[in-house]
């Protein structure tokens, strides 16, 4: 059964390692017959949440920028995939800002059930992505119908292209195929 999959690459480095990992997931998900859309935060304007909570009544944010369109796509997707570089052992700031701006989803009838996280980092140690995973799990905790369905970590990648041939690409593709 085909699912509506939304992949959000949060890196601001165009064609970077996170983008490449996300594209491997995309290829697997498309190969399985899913309807896949990929969004890149590079070039998007996403302001910080003001904490006004107006969105809890209206399901719309009062800030008019690219986050509104992305949040609507998140609401409609059955599967959401986030790809982020790990900076200082945490998700990218732009990913965290988007999660905060997705607050209109909290009181909405969202479609997503499975959420995936793809991470890249210069460090190779196990657990390098633990805080990024934990941060996303905190967001997912606010959506009782959703779950963290899987993660893939690509360590030892710094410069654009370092991920070529990395085992994580195969894992991301296989995870995409399993959607």
Token couple for 97: 């800002």
What are φ and ψ of residue 172, in 5° steps? -65, -40
Closest CA to 100 of 74, 121, 79: 74
Does residue 1 surpass a pLDDT of 90?
A: no
DSSP class of 178: T
User: Residues 68, 60: contact at Cβ < 8 Å?
Assistant: yes
10 Å CB burial of residue 30 (0-12, 13-18, 19+) is middle
Alpha carbon 49 to chain centroid distance? 18
Q: What is the average pLDDT value for the chain, to the nearest integer? A: 97
Q: What is the CATH number of the domain that holds 92?
A: 3.40.50.360
**Range of 26's domain?**
4-177
Model confidence at 88, pLDDT cuts 50, 70, 90, reads very high
Please report the pLDDT score of residue 141 as a whole number.
Answer: 97
Tell me the C-alpha to C-alpha distance, in Å, between residue 57 and each of 12, 52, 100, 103.
32, 11, 16, 11
Token couple for 122: 């210069």
Give the tens place of pLDDT for each residue, 43-58: 999 999 999 999 999 9
Does residue 33 surpass a pLDDT of 90?
A: yes
Give the tens place of pLDDT for each residue, 64-75: 999 999 999 999
**Structural element, H or E, at residue 36:** strand 35-40
Strands (E), 10-113: 35-40, 79-85
Q: How many domains does one find in the chain? A: 1
């Amino acid at each position: 059964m085909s699912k509506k999959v939304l992949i959000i690459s949060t890196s601001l480095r165009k064609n970077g390692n996170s983008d490449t990992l996300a594209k491997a997931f995309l290829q697997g998900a498309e190969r399985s017959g899913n309807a896949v859309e990929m969004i890149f935060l590079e070039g998007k304007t996403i302001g910080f949440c003001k904490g006004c909570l107006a969105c809890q009544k209206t399901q719309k944010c009062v800030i008019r920028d690219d986050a509104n369109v992305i949040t609507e796509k998140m609401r409609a997707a059955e599967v959401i995939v986030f790809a982020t570089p790990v900076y200082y052992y945490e998700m990218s700031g732009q990913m965290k800002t988007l999660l905060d701006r997705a607050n209109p989803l909290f009181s909405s009838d969202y479609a997503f059930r499975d959420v995936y996280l793809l991470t890249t980092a210069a460090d190779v140690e196990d657990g390098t992505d633990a805080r990024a995973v934990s941060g996303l799990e905190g967001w997912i905790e606010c959506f009782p119908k959703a779950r963290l369905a899987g993660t893939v970590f690509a360590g030892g990648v710094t410069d654009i292209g370092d991920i070529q041939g990395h085992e994580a690409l195969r894992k991301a593709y296989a995870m995409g195929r399993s959607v």
